[in-house]
């Protein structure tokens, strides 16, 4: 099941490459006032920063999640909350005044303290006129009460929330709640994952030994303004090599390499940087259709039987001035 997902989903391949280089890392959500809770690590890879991809990989057994809290979400659209403020639970108005209040136990009247205090300092109920002398028997002092200026009701705080997506307003008692989770690699999935996805950092040493400056999981902006993530960027003598690495066994299909082609079309038109070369490196075998497609876009190919062989061949290609032949 995971094999199929990795071969069809560029976003999952990109994230899993990053994950192999950050095996002990715990991804935790951060609150963004315009988007709700997001995962910055996903955003830095040019991916959807929500928990969607993390939940998918948790279901696949690749990630382990841990509940770290809850968030309030809109009962109508399910989006996170932008802000909250006190509101009247009776009419929903936000026009309130706050202060300490007194409740006359006998007649039930509630009002702010200054309405009960007389000029001589005694307390008198403004509703029934009875003098109040015995706290807890005749009256109760209630701190931090709100009075609604619209309907006149007294109450203790009830929050109104405003959602991010459509600015729906809803009261605290109407709110829904959703768990907040952190995610990390499941150690039991490491062996399977390593067979399907290459660890980009393992290629760095061989390239650096040939004089390359190497960046793992670089973000490169295209002419469209979109930021794309590659497995490796290697630079030397004014040339920039952008590489995507495909692990696993079997045939490398045209559908798998299509996202790479989309990226290089956008990036190759960008005025930033000098001469660019684009490379696909794979332990999968390039099918005839894939090879023809890749060649038509001027992409160079490296094919190897395993990752160790791929490291050597990739370093050899990037150190040469001519495309690496595939038999």
Q: Domain of 246: which CATH number? A: 3.40.1350.10
The more confident residue out of 8 and 22 is: 22
- Is 88's pLDDT higher than 70? yes
User: Is pTM beyond 0.85 here?
Assistant: no
CA distances from 80 to 59, 89, 207, 217, 309 (A): 23, 21, 45, 30, 48
pLDDT at 184: 97
Span 83-96, mean pLDDT?
81
Domain match, 234 and 315 both: yes
Domain match, 226 and 301 both: yes
Domain match, 138 and 207 both: no
Average pLDDT score, the chain: 88
Domain match, 260 and 144 both: no
Span 139-143, mean pLDDT?
91
Among 98, 131, 157, the domain-final residue is: 157
**Using 50, 70 and 90 to split pLDDT, how confident is the model at 6?**
low
Among 129, 157, 185, the domain-final residue is: 157
Span 9-27, mean pLDDT?
92
**Using 50, 70 and 90 to split pLDDT, how confident is the model at 271?**
low
- Is 325's pLDDT higher than 60? no
Among 157, 188, 210, the domain-final residue is: 157
- Is 326's pLDDT higher than 50? no
Span 165-184, mean pLDDT?
89
Domain assignment present for residue 20? The answer is no
- Is 172's pLDDT higher than 70? yes
The dihedral through the CA atoms of 308, 7, 326, 201 has a sign that is negative
Domain assignment present for residue 6? The answer is no
Structure-block tokens of residue 102: 């007194």
Virtual CA dihedral for 40, 41, 46, 48, nearest 10 degrees?
Answer: -60
**Using 50, 70 and 90 to split pLDDT, how confident is the model at 174?**
confident
Q: Are 147 and 153 in contact (CB under 8 A)?
A: yes
Q: How many domains does the chain have?
A: 2
Query: Hey, how many other C-beta atoms are within 10 angstroms of the C-beta on 206?
Result: 18
CA-based nearest residue to 22, from 53, 68, 63, 66: 63
Domain assignment present for residue 114? The answer is yes
pLDDT at 84: 77
CA distances from 33 to 40, 74, 247, 310 (A): 14, 15, 38, 44
Give the separation between CA 55 and CA 74, rounded to whole angstroms: 20
Give the separation between CA 104 and CA 135, rounded to whole angstroms: 10
Domain assignment present for residue 293? The answer is yes
Range of the domain at 231: 198-327
Domain match, 224 and 113 both: no
């Amino acid at each position: 099941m995971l094999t199929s997902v990795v071969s069809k989903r560029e976003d999952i391949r990109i994230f899993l490459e990053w994950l192999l280089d950050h095996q002990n890392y715990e991804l935790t959500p951060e609150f963004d006032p315009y988007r709700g809770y997001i995962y910055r690590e996903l955003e830095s890879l040019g991916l959807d920063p929500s928990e969607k991809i993390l939940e998918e990989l948790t279901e696949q057994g690749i990630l382990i999640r841990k509940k770290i809290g809850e968030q309030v979400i809109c009962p109508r659209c399910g989006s996170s909350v932008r802000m909250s403020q006190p509101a009247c639970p009776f009419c929903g108005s936000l026009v309130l005044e706050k202060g300490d209040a007194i409740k006359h136990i006998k007649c039930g009247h509630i009002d702010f303290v200054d309405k009960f205090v007389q000029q001589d300092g005694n307390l008198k109920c403004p509703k029934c006129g009875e003098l109040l002398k015995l706290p807890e028997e005749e009256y109760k002092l209630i701190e931090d009460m709100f009075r609604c200026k619209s309907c006149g009701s007294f109450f203790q705080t009830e929050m109104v929330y405003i959602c991010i997506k459509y600015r729906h307003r809803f009261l605290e008692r109407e709110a829904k709640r959703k768990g907040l989770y952190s995610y990390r690699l499941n150690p039991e999935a490491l062996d399977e994952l390593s067979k399907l996805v290459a660890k980009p950092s393992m290629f760095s040493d061989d390239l650096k030994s040939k004089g390359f400056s190497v960046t793992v999981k670089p973000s490169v902006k295209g002419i469209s303004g979109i930021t794309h993530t590659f497995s490796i960027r290697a630079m030397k003598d004014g040339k920039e090599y952008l590489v995507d690495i495909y692990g696993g066994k079997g045939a490398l299909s045209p559908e798998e390499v299509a996202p790479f082609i989309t990226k290089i079309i956008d990036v190759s038109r960008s005025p930033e940087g000098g001469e660019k070369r684009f490379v696909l490196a794979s332990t999968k075998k390039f099918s005839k259709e894939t090879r023809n497609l890749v060649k038509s876009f001027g992409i160079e190919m490296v094919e190897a039987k395993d990752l160790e062989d791929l490291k050597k061949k990739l370093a050899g290609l990037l150190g040469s001035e001519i495309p690496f032949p595939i038999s």
